[in-house]
Amino acid sequence: MQVHHTDEASYHIIAVVGEVDASSSIVLDAALEEAINQKKQKILIDCTELHYISSPGIGVFTSRLDDCEKIGIALVLFGLNDKVFNVFRILGLDQLIKIVKTKEEAKSVAK
């Protein structure tokens, strides 16, 4: 798995490429922690190249969601394929985490 950071205007985008399993979830968690510690106010997670996510990967998002809510950071995921989205949906996380289809939609809901 690879993680790429970019900034577009007021948005910090973290692109996740590949598969997030137990070992690579540590890298994802570190990327989110860094963005949160830098007080990036709008964090968008680009999942267009995310092919698989395990429960530790899901755990990264759920644990960091609380951190974001406490300090007013908008966290939005976008571009999930059907397989990955279904994991979030089955667990009910699509009700807790903002998940949209495109980057443009993510920018419009990250307020």
User: Domain count of the chain?
Assistant: 1
Q: Over the stretch 35-49, which tens digit does the pLDDT of each residue have?
A: 999 999 999 999 999
Q: What pLDDT score does 14 carry?
A: 98
Question: Domain range holding 22?
Answer: 2-109
pTM: 0.95
> What CATH number did the domain enclosing 80 receive?
3.30.750.24
Q: Alpha-carbon distance 82 to 51, whole Å?
A: 10
**Residue position matching structure tokens 């510690």:** 37
Non-local (6+) Cβ contacts of 47 within 8 A are 16, 77, 78, 79, 80, 81, 84
Per-residue tokens: 75: 């966290």
